[in-house]
Structure 1
């Protein structure tokens, strides 16, 4: 009987091939719902295809699609407003619809032999639909006509915060690569870019009121060679920074891809680049300071900001300029790994503890963060901090980014604060992808399956607290990442895994199926000339 059924299936395929369903496309992240149409209903994209859009101006997603097709598929399509063109064939239409949707980023795609129809309630939704369309294209660009499989898709993200971080303090990456990095995030439907602009090892953003921050703090005289503690120092002056005009350019570029750029200005620790320029803001103003030349946190050398009025005035001046550059409603203020031994040894700080009735140096940390939050809130923005900002008492409106495991995030959620989960053992992409990696990396191990199987909502949270888990984020620290090719090698394909964790329904995640779909994704990366980790092939 099984043989007979097989024969009937074979006969159906041979004599009625047009009625056979198309194979579901290999998409990452996996959509909420996807149904294959019949093979005969595949759409042929060619130079005569029109792009139709529903807005009065040329929709940004339509422009993005046209530029993409021109760059990678050598097709330049004409565009027209959707109104009055509804009955046209051989079209890609992008239409804003009015009505109630489950999620503001929701979109639908319908592919038939007459065309491709993308609809959404928001421009962001249209953009995400367009990004899915790019994955429906064949991953090779060597023809005049490209077949798009007949398919019906309904899709929206699981989490509102889908983030990726880039550290440009340890190693600096120019504007061209930062834009490329943002493109990579857009490809994977990420919507937040956490830009780590300052640290002990370099200050990377122009502040007009304090040019010393980049003139002095933007450069270190040497870097260690190899994995810490290294085999010596190279003695090479290293640095760089972004002008305010470059910052604006990057922010605009990200906005066009529906990505919010969150700047991070580290305080009160991780401030050696600041103190090299302004030693009077430290607890030991007479002692010489320099931009850090080795990795890691060393209490003996890494001084911290003094919690003085002079320091707060300085930080408020800096943050005023920063907030004017970034329309993001969120400002990341660091708050991690502050060496409190310096406050313990500081007469000023000990007097402050008595004056303010603080319990101890942990109370100073809380006092410091509260002061900064009050100022940032007064400008209509909200602070984000690493989970150490819980120490001594959490600032009233702060968002917690939990990196030392999930404990801090769980505690913050139970206090009804928004949380971004980014635990080091699952979300630090500077760690090795393989037990024996073929490049210099941080010593810990983070294989692809660990990223893919990470669940941002901890089992210990009850239903009332789960809603405070805003999302999750991958982090790319750059101690051992010195060039763009290395960033790409460390990012891919772990970014694919992260995108599916944050976008796709939990019950649809399946690691063996994800590995299968990666094979097609790698072909797309070849088209983009991305330096992904080919050991997964």
Structure 2
């Protein structure tokens, strides 16, 4: 008999321990288990809200429940005996993403000062659901949570130029961001290997520039070619569809239109935009190419102004990313028009010519009510007056931008490039670097070398997904999971709240969520040193 009671007592302790452990990623600011009780969620539980603006959050929750648990909830404006209550408070603060969540006998209560905050509360509530549950009843443990994001910019990038992703996967990718409380999607739309956005004034950009004749096989420089055409582009209607989908999830879409380098696809379509006139081709290999947009040709700027006019109409975001990276100066040094431009504007070298190009385009974009973001090469030759710098070649670019009182987004390659292998035990073709889960988790977006007073210029961080070696959605998922979960905690949770050992414990249930979502992810053993994985 004593053994029987001991077993019962042990089971109760285990259940209490499970209730006490809330496996939420990113980790909230405060989590307090109020008691060992729980609220029963069933398909009869209503979602109650009075403000119509909260419809998007309620719909997202219902979509999640319907897709992964097989039922949805009635939405109501009338109070119920027990329900999920969403409400906006009258308070205001400097952090619009904050929210409070409480689960008690009467129901689930999510309050926030903004719609965005309610949406983040919904993401936390989703993580209170058992990912292995079957049926239409779930126990939600009693808890009180107070939470807010640390950084205002929490981003993921996706390159669709090297390998095209269909709209269906782009939407799925946006859902992944939403489930991790990310709020920026950086969409890399143009490059040497393909132009992916319809520009109606320049139809050849997609007629010719969106399709390459083949793709190299093996690691650069390659050991062969598929000789299979690869292409695709998004119509303007599809762009609008994706932007609305993201907006409904409180995610801002930032388009990237590369200039003045990474121009091969555009030059193939309109050869007069280059320094030599061609012949050009949509590149079938990777790397950096000497053929760039001619900085001495007025038609180049007319072209980009026309392109920007159409891009601005499609993307409500404050930012337009203009690239600005990896622009060889070989063509410019030989081009009479570029050299004449330098003389006319008293530019001492081709780096200043690039700065002239970027600053001229910035002025036009600013007139459209937008601001530019560029990779850290835009610092060379002089930074455009209102530019935000995305620091990828380490942290130096972000530090320099912040010192100049420019905003910066940190995305250093050795921490934030998810095209690098996730493990030293390389099991597929990737870029040569290695960025383990633990390394991603260890990243601190505010550099130690940055003066304290300049820290306010660091907006946040972003991971980049370059797709040279990701030719299908399954490979992309494998490369981003679970590293996206680590990044989400880096950019959302307070620095003091981050703990690698604790994160690993919570990651065990995150793996179960991946399985629920049916995503392909990199299986890593928990509690094993990263250097041996």
- TM-score, normalising length from structure 2? 0.95
Task: State the Cα distance separating 1:351 from its structure 2 match.
Answer: 1.1
Q: Do the aligned partners of 2:293 and 2:300 also contact (CA within 8 Å) in 1? A: no
Match of 1:24 in 2: 21
Deviations, residues 325-366 of structure 1 (Å, cap 9, x unaligned): 000010000000001111111111111111101111011010
Match of 1:36 in 2: 33
1:144 equivalent to 2:136? Answer yes
Match of 1:524 in 2: 513
Deviations, residues 105-151 of structure 1 (Å, cap 9, x unaligned): 10000001220000001100000000000000011231231001111
Task: State the Cα distance separating 1:515 from its structure 2 match.
Answer: 1.1
2:147 to 140, 151, 155: 155
Cα distance in structure 2, aligned partners of 1:222 and 1:15:
62
Q: Do the aligned partners of 2:65 and 2:71 also contact (CA within 8 Å) in 1? A: yes
1:241 equivalent to 2:233? Answer yes
- Give the 3-state SS of the residue equivalent to 1:515 in structure 2: helix
Deviations, residues 230-287 of structure 1 (Å, cap 9, x unaligned): 11212111111000000000000000000000000000000110111111111101x3
Task: State the Cα distance separating 1:304 from its structure 2 match.
Answer: 3.6
Q: Note the aligned Cα RMSD (angstroms).
A: 1.9
Q: Do the aligned partners of 2:260 and 2:292 also contact (CA within 8 Å) in 1? A: no
2:112 to 120, 134, 137: 120
Q: Do the aligned partners of 1:203 and 1:217 also contact (CA within 8 Å) in 2? A: yes
- Give the 3-state SS of the residue equivalent to 1:373 in structure 2: helix
Match of 1:358 in 2: 347
Match of 1:55 in 2: 51
Q: Do the aligned partners of 2:294 and 2:338 also contact (CA within 8 Å) in 1? A: no
Gaps of 5+ in 2: 1-5, 527-533
Task: State the Cα distance separating 1:10 from its structure 2 match.
Answer: 10
Q: Do the aligned partners of 1:21 and 1:38 also contact (CA within 8 Å) in 2? A: no
Match of 2:183 in 1: 191
Q: Do the aligned partners of 2:445 and 2:458 also contact (CA within 8 Å) in 1? A: yes
- Give the 3-state SS of the residue equivalent to 1:242 in structure 2: coil
1:90 equivalent to 2:79? Answer no
Cα distance in structure 2, aligned partners of 1:100 and 1:58:
17
Match of 1:177 in 2: 169
Deviations, residues 392-443 of structure 1 (Å, cap 9, x unaligned): 0000000000000000110000000010000011100000011122111111
Deviations, residues 133-189 of structure 1 (Å, cap 9, x unaligned): 000001123123100111100000000000000000000000000000000000000
1:221 equivalent to 2:210? Answer no
Q: Do the aligned partners of 1:307 and 1:368 also contact (CA within 8 Å) in 2? A: no
Cα distance in structure 2, aligned partners of 1:264 and 1:22:
45
Q: Do the aligned partners of 2:212 and 2:282 also contact (CA within 8 Å) in 1? A: yes
Match of 1:69 in 2: 65
Task: State the Cα distance separating 1:71 from its structure 2 match.
Answer: 1.8
- TM-score, normalising length from structure 1? 0.94
- Give the 3-state SS of the residue equivalent to 2:250 in structure 1: coil
- Give the 3-state SS of the residue equivalent to 2:19 in structure 1: coil
Q: Do the aligned partners of 2:262 and 2:289 also contact (CA within 8 Å) in 1? A: no
- Give the 3-state SS of the residue equivalent to 2:216 in structure 1: coil
Cα distance in structure 2, aligned partners of 1:431 and 1:12:
48
Cα 1:486–1:18, aligned 2, differ >3 Å: closer, same or farther? closer
Match of 1:3 in 2: none
Gaps of 5+ in 1: 1-8
Match of 2:279 in 1: 288
Cα 1:20–1:291, aligned 2, differ >3 Å: closer, same or farther? closer
Moved more, 200-209 or 217-226: 217-226
Deviations, residues 434-474 of structure 1 (Å, cap 9, x unaligned): 11221111111111111000011011112210000000100
Cα 1:125–1:178, aligned 2, differ >3 Å: closer, same or farther? same
Deviations, residues 290-316 of structure 1 (Å, cap 9, x unaligned): 0111101143xx444333211000000
Task: State the Cα distance separating 1:486 from its structure 2 match.
Answer: 0.2
Cα distance in structure 1, aligned partners of 2:210 and 2:306:
18
1:349 equivalent to 2:349? Answer no
1:46 equivalent to 2:42? Answer yes
1:491 equivalent to 2:480? Answer yes
- Give the 3-state SS of the residue equivalent to 2:224 in structure 1: coil
Q: Do the aligned partners of 2:215 and 2:285 also contact (CA within 8 Å) in 1? A: yes
Q: Do the aligned partners of 2:48 and 2:77 also contact (CA within 8 Å) in 1? A: yes
Cα distance in structure 2, aligned partners of 1:510 and 1:145:
33
Q: Do the aligned partners of 1:53 and 1:80 also contact (CA within 8 Å) in 2? A: yes
- Give the 3-state SS of the residue equivalent to 2:20 in structure 1: coil
Q: How does 1:100-499 map to 2 (within 5 A)?
A: 100-285=92-277, 287-299=278-290, 302-499=291-488
- Give the 3-state SS of the residue equivalent to 1:524 in structure 2: helix
- Give the 3-state SS of the residue equivalent to 1:59 in structure 2: helix
Cα distance in structure 1, aligned partners of 2:297 and 2:525:
52
Task: State the Cα distance separating 1:15 from its structure 2 match.
Answer: 9.6
Cα distance in structure 2, aligned partners of 1:169 and 1:254:
20
